[in-house]
């Protein structure tokens, strides 16, 4: 099969320069899985609140620890990314935004909006606690 040895390969993920659309596509799935885990935490939090002050205090201590806050920060970003990129998907479903410059522009808007919204939510949350 010598004639087939040098045929071009499909994108080799370790050396291929990822277009933004490839990154946002896989991040949509990664954040979706992450948010599913986050939903389990939300349900645990609701059940702890229903179970009483002691179990709720345990839940608040876990979520309020630095690991808990780091995870909550990650889930906030995952939520905003999946939300913004989901709206981008709805625009595609409506037949809008398939030109490559538009795909790149909306991709950057989604990335920047998810970061700005995440930081804004956390600044407002710390302000509500009176820390800021």
Q: Point out which residues bind other proteins (CB under 8 A).
A: 29, 32-33, 35-36, 39-40, 42-43, 46-47, 49-50, 52-53, 56-57, 60, 64, 76, 79-80, 83, 86-87, 89-90, 93, 121, 124-126, 128-129
CB 84, CB 114: distance < 8 Å: yes
Q: Nearer Cβ to other proteins, position 98 or 101?
A: 98
> At its nearest, how many Å lie between other proteins and the CB of residue 115?
15
Q: Nearer Cβ to other proteins, position 87 or 116?
A: 87
Q: Nearer Cβ to other proteins, position 92 or 108?
A: 92
> At its nearest, how many Å lie between other proteins and the CB of residue 113?
13
> At its nearest, how many Å lie between other proteins and the CB of residue 15?
23
> At its nearest, how many Å lie between other proteins and the CB of residue 61?
12
Q: Which of 72, 65, 111, 67 is nearest to 88 (CA)?
A: 111
């Amino acid at each position: 099969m010598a004639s087939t040895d040098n045929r071009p390969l499909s994108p080799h993920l370790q050396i291929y320069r990822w277009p933004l659309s490839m990154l946002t596509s896989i991040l949509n799935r990664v954040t979706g899985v992450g948010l599913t885990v986050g939903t389990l935490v939300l349900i645990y939090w609701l059940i702890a609140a229903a179970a009483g002050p002691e179990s709720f205090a345990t839940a608040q201590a876990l979520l309020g620890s630095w690991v808990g806050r780091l995870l909550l920060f990650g889930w906030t970003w995952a939520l905003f990314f999946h939300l913004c990129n989901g709206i981008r998907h709805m625009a595609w479903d409506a037949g809008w935004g398939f030109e490559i410059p538009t795909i790149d522009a909306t991709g950057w808007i989604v990335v920047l909006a998810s970061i700005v919204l995440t930081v804004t939510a956390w600044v407002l949350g710390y302000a509500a606690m009176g820390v800021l």
